[in-house]
Chain A
Amino acid sequence: MSFLRSLRFVWLLTKLRLTRQMVFRLSFFGSFFADGALFLTQMLAFELIYGQVDGIGGWSRGQMMIFIGSFSMLNGLSMLLCFFGLIELPRKIREGGLDLYLTKPGSPLLRICFESVDLGSAPLLLLSGLIIARGAALEGIAVSLPLLLGFIGLLLAMALLYCDMELILRTIPFFVIAADAINHLEGDMLTLNFKIPGVLYKGGFKLLFCFALPYGLMATVPTEALSGVLKPQGLAYALAIVAGFTAFALWFWRLGLKNYKSASS
């Protein structure tokens, strides 16, 4: 499928999804309110901690704000684009609902990812932007255009990594029946990592969260970039992780499809 055709396809899926979502008007902005409250309470918690201490692991209050805003932005981008589609994947594999996607024309992965676009999450991006801007102001960062573009580029790369992890974890049910375990595992990893910057991990935890399950890099790297402390090696490492995990996610998805037996078999 060409790029333009894919875009047209995604646009069509978005329109269909919007029509369905408008039925429940009260919950249209539900994800925004729920996750917005989550990140605001997180921000409040760190404000309270910083009321008592000067720094956490060498990070200032401003850097922590940028970190929370960045994680909120990644979460918002994921929910806006693919989260609500991918979360259904284990159930579709278990119940054989994936058959329908495989027989339809076009890429099944593209359809699964974008059929549940959640436009109600869009305001979360604005809220995250405001948190990041507040962090940058607290940190006294003079934001130039190249710095801003670099930061946005890194955020998008990390959003890709975030979605890669979602896809990898939800491809596992092709091989084992463990849908709930995966949701729990991902929830625990995210809850831990949106509260703890990657710089605080040491030893085995560093290996786990900055390499094996790189949740610890996702918001830390953009924060370091914006606050001017990211070293070139750190940047190269982060981009290599994104490239490696994207390639692995796509390979793992194809392997999973080959292993798919449908519910009837």
Chain B
Amino acid sequence: MKKYFAIAKTAFKAQIVYRFDVAMTALGTLWKLLFAWILWGAIFQGQESVSGFDFGGMLGYYLVVSFLSSMDQSSGVSFELNERIRGGTFSKFMVLPASPQLQFMAQSLGASFYYALFALLAALLGALLFQIRMGFGAEPAALLCAFCLSALGLVFMVSYHFFVGLLAFKFQEINFFLHLQGNLIALATGAMLPLSLLPKTVLELLNLLPFSQVGYLPAMLLTGRAGLGEGLKGLLVLVLWTAAFLAANRLLYERLRVQYDGVGI
């Protein structure tokens, strides 16, 4: 574990070089809030409540999901894997005495912690600018559950993106798929809009998938719109999916790595 902790620490420090990227990602949190403020402001002019949300509650929801999505740096894993496998520079991960999956995990989590600091600052600034009053009306156990979901969500997203990145061994060019799934995931995690707007059956189906537990459920828990029971159910779903992906990635890596020629195109 020591070596992975060292990788995470190095990734954390390395982000200092990419100050502009960090600033833009933090600014992204404010852009998302601006979007919510303008669009939902127009919607709430006609009515008091939409799907159980009032205007302040809706902004609170967007504040939490924007913070969580700004913190999550896992999409870089699939892009880096794709580039390295295509370009023939993945070899370095094969010769190092460490598991590639855990290396990428440590790297991504280290970066995420750094981004989290600035995303938090941006969220606080956003709360001030848009006068969002976070109620945190949920019980302490539910808040703890939201924290666990957010942390495990980061781990799950890395394992998911590692899985997607590994497909480059098989298909060589997966760039378009990376963009395609990015949009779908934004919808499925609730980053685009609260999933409670979906029909009940669709929402129940989505609750069986891991993505809604990564953004939507923590936001609902933190804004006091979901209870501990739902939180624990979501946590169980996320634990199962994370374990499944981690195991599947190990198998898939062992199976596909033999197709890697190390030359690049």
Is B35's CB within 8 Å of the partner chain A? yes
Across the interface, do B27 and A188 meet the contact criterion of CB distance under 8 Å? Answer: yes
List which A1-50 residues lie within 8 A (CB) of chain B: 24, 26-27, 29-31, 33-35, 37-38, 41, 44-45, 48-49
Given A48-B197, A54-B46, A195-B35: 8 more A-B contacts, CB < 8 Å: A24-B173, A45-B187, A49-B43, A49-B197, A53-B46, A180-B20, A196-B35, A196-B39
| Bound form: Cα–Cα A118–B39 in Å | 33
Residues of A within 8 A of B174 (CB): 26
- Between A and B, 10 residue pairs with Cβ closer than 8 Å are A30-B175, A37-B179, A37-B184, A41-B187, A45-B193, A52-B197, A53-B47, A56-B39, A56-B43, A205-B38
Nearest CB on B from A52, distance (A): 5
Tell me, rounded to whole Å, the shortest Cβ–Cβ distance linking B203 to chain A.
Answer: 11
- State the CA gap A33–B25 with chains docked (Å): 25
Look across to chain B and name the residue whose beta carbon is closest to the beta carbon of A180.
B20
> Could you count the A-B residue pairs with CB atoms below 8 Å apart for me: how many are there?
84
Chain B residues contacting A181 (CB-CB under 8 Å) are 20, 24
- CB <8 Å contact, B43 and A201: no
- Give the interface of A toward B (CB within 8 A): 24, 26-27, 29-31, 33-35, 37-38, 41, 44-45, 48-49, 51-57, 180-181, 184, 188, 191-192, 195-196, 200-201, 205
Does chain A have a CB within 8 A of B259?
no
CB distance from B53 to the nearest CB of A (A): 10
Contacting residues, chain B, for A53 (C-beta < 8 A)? 43, 46-47, 50
Q: Does B180 contact A37, Cβ atoms closer than 8 Å? A: yes
Known A26-B171, A52-B50, A200-B38; contact A34-B43, beta-carbon cutoff 8 A: no
Given contacts A44-B187, A181-B20, A200-B38, A188 and B173 within 8 Å (CB-CB): no
A206 to chain B, nearest CB (A): 11
CA distance A55 to B50 in the complex (A): 13
**Contacting residues, chain B, for A27 (C-beta < 8 A):** 173, 175-176
- State in angstroms the CA–CA spacing of A24 and B197 once bound together: 39
In the complex the two chains form, is A52's CB within 8 Å of B51's CB?
yes
- CA of A29 to CA of B180, assembled, Å: 11
Tell me which of A24, A53, A200 has the highest count of chain B C-beta atoms within 10 A of its own C-beta: A53
Nearest CB of A to B136, in Å: 26
Asked if B21 is at the interface (CB within 8 A of a chain A CB), the reply is: yes
A115 to B80, CA, bound (A): 27
Contact with A along B1-42 (1 / 0, CB 8 A): 000000000000000000011001001100100110011001
Contact of B186 among A24, A29, A41, A52 (CB under 8 A): A41
